[in-house]
Each structure stands twice: as C-alpha cells, then as structure tokens.
C-alpha cells in the first residue's frame, strides 16, 4: 500500500525573504512608474534644447531664404522670356502679313506671262519699271521668309527655356514650402519647451540674457577698433539704428530681420548690394581668419555650414539678429553657440 506523505512546507525564513523581495520589487516598479511622468528638465537643460532647436531653425531659415531668392529670380526671368516671346510672335505675325500683301501684289501684277505682257504693253518702258518692281518684291519675299524662319527658331528656343525654368520654379516652390514647414516645426518645438518653464524660470533666463547684452554693450563702448572702410562704418551705423528690432525668420527689414537680412539691409544703406543668404555673403569681399585682424563693420560668419552672420563690433563682440524671440543686439562671439569661421571685409 502506497504511503501518502505531506508536502514539505517552506521554512519561515524562506517565506520572509520571498515576501520582502516581492514587496521591494513592487515598490521599485511603482517608484519607476511614478517618477517618469514627474521628471521635469531643469531650466538650463531646457535652454540647451531650445538653443539647439533655434540653431536648426536658423539653418533651415537660410535654406528657405535661398529658395525664396531663387524663386523670385526665376519669376523675373520667366516674365522677361514670356514678354520677349510675345513681342517676337507679334514680329512674326507682322512679317507674315507683309509677305501676304507682297504675294497678293505680285499675283495681281504678274498674273500674265512676262513675255506676253511685254508683247501687249503699249509702253515698254512702263513694263520694264513694273518688271523691276516684281524682281524687288521677289527679293523682299525671300528676305521675309528668312526672317520668319529665324524668328520662329528663336521663339522655339525661348519657349523651351521658359518651360525648363517653369519646371525649376515648381521644384523651387516645393523646396520653399518644405523649408518653411521645417522652420515652423523647430520654432513650435522650442516654444513648447519654453512653455514648460515656470514664470520664475523664464524671468531668470531673460535676466541672464539681459546681463550678457549689457556686458557686450560695455565692451563695445570701451573698444577702440577702426572700421574696415567708410562703407563698413556706414553699414555698422545703420545696423546700430536697428538695435531692439525683433528677429523674424525670412525678414529683410526695416521693421524686422533675420541674421542675413540685417547684414544685407545694413550694407544696402551704405550703397553696397549683398546677396540674400549668409553663405552667399561669404563671397562679398576679402576673408579674414584671425579675430585680431577684424575691424568694425566686417561680416563675421559662424558654424561649419556658415548659417549665421553678423557685423563685427570690436572687442570680441558682434552686432546681429540672433534668433526668434530676440532682437537685434550686441553679443559676445563666445556665446553664439557655434565656432567662428572667418570674417569678410566688404
């Protein structure tokens, strides 16, 4: 007969250990679940993320500016070509009308065989004059035909060129729309982060920026750096008159600016035409790689992709339109957020 043994019960010590471990696991799991939603980035962490987003937005802004400039250029070129085609077609129509009139005149005067016309003519001299006219009309017809052919070839080439530019324009408009969405997305993300700060934290960040700006102003006032040229001095003075003007991406003044919009506008007041984008403005003069050789009014470029530009103000300071949420102001070259690449003396 089989024996029935009672199952061995776990010891009191083992039960205690298992219970304690389970309770600890539940507690840790609960803490982890509760901690994640309540974690809030610090003010400095938010600022770092926002600065990065603004940098990316400015990079996209310069691409947007380039696409917008290309679009405007293409629109002007297409308009000019279309005007030329319209005028050319009018010329062709006039040549065809003239050819038709000549053909009608020749038919009316040359409908009878010339030898028979001469035989019937009462005045041979009169006929010879008419024959001379017929020869002249024939020459004009040949010339008119040649002109029509040349004009038609020219019009076909212009229409083809306009068609290519229209395709390029459509592509440029698509790129423009993408860059605009990219800028807006970056700015929206930055604003969302800023909204996560308390009123006190926002006030602290604003005060930090104000202190930095005041320090830069003092450094500029104490600087004794000459301007790169008379025009550079005039451009710098124009930019100074816009201190406090808000930054708006894609803006070229006079009531708002982005970085390259400010430098372009400032030099325009000095009678110098600069390209629209920061990258294009690098070719506006002589490059200067040493900060010690920079002079007031020189263009200064930052970041490896050259997406930020300002005007040198002396003592390691620049005058620029920094980013969304700021105004035209002085700032230390050390706080731009990207490396100084070189200056350009216009």
59 is known as an active-site residue: no
**d(C-alpha 263, C-alpha 278), whole Å:** 9
| Annotated catalytic residue, options 4, 59, 307, 320 | 320
259 is known as an active-site residue: yes
307 is known as an active-site residue: no
Distances (CA, A) of 303 to 93, 155, 254, 329: 57, 47, 26, 19
Assess contact for 280 and 325: CB atoms under 8 A. no
- Residues acting as catalytic residues: 259, 308, 320
């Amino acid at each position: 007969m089989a024996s029935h043994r009672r199952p061995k019960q776990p010891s009191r010590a083992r039960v205690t250990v298992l219970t304690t471990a389970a309770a600890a696991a539940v507690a840790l799991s609960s803490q982890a679940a509760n901690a994640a939603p309540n974690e809030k980035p610090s003010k400095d962490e938010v600022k770092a993320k926002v600065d990065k987003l603004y940098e990316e937005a400015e990079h996209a802004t310069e691409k947007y500016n380039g696409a917008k400039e290309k679009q405007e250029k293409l629109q002007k070129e297409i308009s000019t070509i279309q005007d030329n085609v319209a005028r050319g077609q009018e010329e062709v129509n006039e040549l065809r009308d003239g050819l038709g009139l000549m053909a009608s005149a020749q038919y009316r005067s040359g409908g009878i065989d010339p030898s028979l016309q001469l035989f019937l003519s009462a005045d041979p001299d009169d006929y010879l004059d008419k024959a001379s006219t017929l020869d002249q009309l024939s020459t004009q017809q040949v010339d008119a035909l040649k002109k029509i052919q040349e004009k038609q070839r020219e019009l076909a080439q212009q229409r083809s060129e306009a068609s290519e530019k229209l395709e390029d324009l459509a592509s440029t408009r698509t790129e423009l729309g993408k860059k605009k969405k990219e800028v807006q997305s970056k700015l929206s993300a930055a604003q969302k982060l800023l909204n996560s700060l308390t009123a006190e934290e926002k006030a602290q960040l604003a005060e930090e920026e104000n202190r930095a700006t005041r320090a830069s102003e003092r450094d500029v006032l104490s600087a004794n750096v000459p301007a790169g040229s008379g025009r550079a001095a005039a451009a710098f003075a124009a930019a100074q008159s816009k201190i406090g003007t808000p930054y708006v991406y894609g803006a070229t003044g006079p009531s708002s600016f982005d970085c390259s919009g400010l430098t372009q506008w400032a030099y325009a007041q000095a009678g110098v035409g600069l390209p629209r984008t920061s990258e294009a403005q690098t070719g506006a003069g002589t490059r200067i790689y040493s900060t010690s050789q920079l002079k007031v009014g020189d263009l200064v470029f930052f970041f490896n992709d050259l997406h930020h530009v300002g005007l040198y103000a002396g003592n390691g300071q620049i005058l620029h339109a920094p980013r969304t949420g700021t105004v035209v102001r002085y700032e230390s070259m050390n706080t731009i957020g990207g490396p100084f690449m070189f200056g350009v003396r216009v």
